[in-house]
Structure 1
Amino acid sequence: MDMETVRDRGLVLLGCGKMGSAMLAGWLKGGLPAASVWVTDPHPSEWLKAQGVHLNADLPELPAIVLIAVKPQMMGEALPAIAALGGGRTLFLSIAAGTTIATFEAALGAQTPIVRAMPNTPAAIARGITAIVGNAHATESHLSLARSLLSAVGQVVRLEGEHQMDAVTAVSGSGPAYVFHLIETLAAAGAAEGLPPALALQLAKATVAGAGALAEAAEEDPGQLRVNVTSPGGTTAAALDVLMNEDRGFPALLKEAVHAAAERGRELGK
């Protein structure tokens, strides 16, 4: 299965919130015709209405792929509407957090090829990263198609198994919120040292964004980049003495936070 098949048979997008919209924008920009896309969404945005896709219309008889982008709490209502498409000839790709492959197999049939994915919100600016894993009926061709579609909004990585999805959710799925909070608190700390709040925020945003870009672009690992900017006995070293404290610094705090997110993911998936 390839993108030509998607153009010919159609792509169904079930739910078109922020993530679904980001993906749709990427596909349309990449050359997928609007006429090949069917979107089902009870509250379509003005942007979506203007894209020329089939909106809340009868679905194609045998779409190449159905992308499930509804919120988990809407899943019970959404799945019965597409159950008739299950059984093997249509690939289902889910970006719904916490909903397991087994849940989809129960609703769509065990023979249905299903790929579960966990994207993150930087997808909105095509800087996301998405982890994918398929069920037993998802072939290499199916996974390749999922990768192609998800590449429209950033990097794609493949997991060894679904058991890794809760950890991925805790690191990259929820992770942008941790970074946003870092920016908030870094700016607040700058203001506490006498900077105007707007300037402190500008410095914090640019510093976090620039450091992240450097970490991705540099050949050195982040540990070495940290060493590179840390002069013995200098200002950075004074701050890192606090942040790298094993009991109350980043090592303990982030380990605890990521574990809490992963555990919550496991609870929600039951």
Structure 2
Amino acid sequence: MMNEWPERLVLVGAGKMGAAMAAGWLAGGLAASSLTILEPNPSDEIAGLAASRGGALHTAAPTPPDVLALAVKPQSLDAVAPQIAPLAGERTLVLSILAGKTIANLRARLPGARAVVRAMPNTPAAIGRGVTAAFASAAVTPEQRLWTEWLLGAVGAFHWLDDEAAIEAVTAISGGGPAYVFALTEALAAAAVSLGLPADLAMSLARGTVEGAGELMRREPGTPPSVLRGNVTSPGGTTAAALAVLQGNDGIDALMARAAAAARARAGEMAG
């Protein structure tokens, strides 16, 4: 019988995403005594989490753990790599959520790393509603794959990828997707203001609409978004008039495709 949780897990970096994952792991059943957090400048939130659950919060590296989870900013990898390289033992699973950093890139900076999983979660992980996709190197064992599924599944939906290159597309879609939805909310509120509504009412309507639409999709997982859209759209009506603009030749489909392509290209640039 394989262990559900690793006995020793070291989390390097405890910003918003790292803190969200740590909270999800502890809530999901990871023993606080199994978790060590390496964060030189811990927020009050992560310090409180460690104190309340009994987890260890350090700035110095302990011995190689079962899992080494990397949640630092991608641009910080070169600076922290020499400090954490001794933690990547030959039996350690390196679990990285660093955007744009390939498995080859990670191994070059952590020479002892063998089993590496590259993952891309998103910020709703902070409320247990994230979505994560990951790719595993050939050296990842069945037990390490299960650890990955439990660790990343603790903060939302989880998917395996068959091709590491697909991570860049995931980064462009679900990784950055929450920001796109927030931008849509801002744009909807601005449109309401342009139609003469007060700013506070405009934002309330925009937020409530986006929240409600998202919840409707969640509660009807078997109903395609196209059907949900059709349920709101009467032929020749007001919504149809708006959609004719949004879905025109230069509309939202083409705009989103260009935006996603730009994000994927930037992820590729960051892989160096």
TM over 0.5: yes
The letter of the residue matching 1:100 is: T
Q: Give the structure 1 partner of residue 133 of structure 2.
A: 131
Runs of 4+ aligned residues of structure 1 deviating over 6 Å after TM superposition are: none
C-alpha change, 1:57 and 1:185, in structure 2 (3 Å) is closer
Q: Give the structure 2 partner of residue 78 of structure 1.
A: 80
Gaps of 5+ in 2: none
C-alpha change, 1:238 and 1:57, in structure 2 (3 Å) is closer
C-alpha change, 1:155 and 1:77, in structure 2 (3 Å) is same
Deviations 1:160-209 (A, max 9, x none): 11110111111011111111010001011111112221111111111112
CA RMSD of aligned residues (A): 1.6
Task: Give, in whole Å, the separation in 2 of the partners of 1:58 and 1:227.
Answer: 56
Q: Give the structure 1 partner of residue 181 of structure 2.
A: 179
Task: Give, in whole Å, the separation in 2 of the partners of 1:3 and 1:58.
Answer: 27
Q: Give the structure 2 partner of residue 220 of structure 1.
A: 223
Q: State whether residues 87 and 108 of structure 1, in contact with CA within 8 Å, keep that contact through their aligned partners in structure 2.
A: no
Deviations 1:82-112 (A, max 9, x none): 2223342111100111111001122333761
Shift of 1:2: 2.9
C-alpha change, 1:34 and 1:163, in structure 2 (3 Å) is same
The letter of the residue matching 2:110 is: L
TM-score, normalising length: structure 2: 0.93
Deviations 1:107-148 (A, max 9, x none): 333761000000111111111101110111112321221110
Task: Give, in whole Å, the separation in 1 of the partners of 2:140 and 2:159.
Answer: 16
C-alpha change, 1:87 and 1:25, in structure 2 (3 Å) is closer
Q: State whether residues 15 and 70 of structure 1, in contact with CA within 8 Å, keep that contact through their aligned partners in structure 2.
A: yes
Gaps of 5+ in 1: none
Q: Give the structure 1 partner of residue 257 of structure 2.
A: 255
Shift of 1:31: 2.7
The letter of the residue matching 1:188 is: A
Which segment drifts farther, 165-174 or 86-95?
A: 86-95
Q: Give the structure 1 partner of residue 199 of structure 2.
A: 197
Q: Give the structure 2 partner of residue 156 of structure 1.
A: 158
| Residue 23 (structure 2) pairs with residue 2 (structure 1) | no
Deviations 1:147-167 (A, max 9, x none): 100112111111111110111
Count of residues in Structure 1 that have an aligned counterpart in Structure 2: 266
Please point out which of 13, 16, 21 is paired with 1:15. 13
Q: State whether residues 242 and 249 of structure 1, in contact with CA within 8 Å, keep that contact through their aligned partners in structure 2.
A: yes
Please show how residues 229-268 of structure 1 align to structure 2 within 5 Å.
229-246=232-249, 248-268=250-270
C-alpha change, 1:255 and 1:175, in structure 2 (3 Å) is same
TM-score, normalising length: structure 1: 0.93
Task: Give, in whole Å, the separation in 2 of the partners of 1:223 and 1:131.
Answer: 24
Identity %: 49
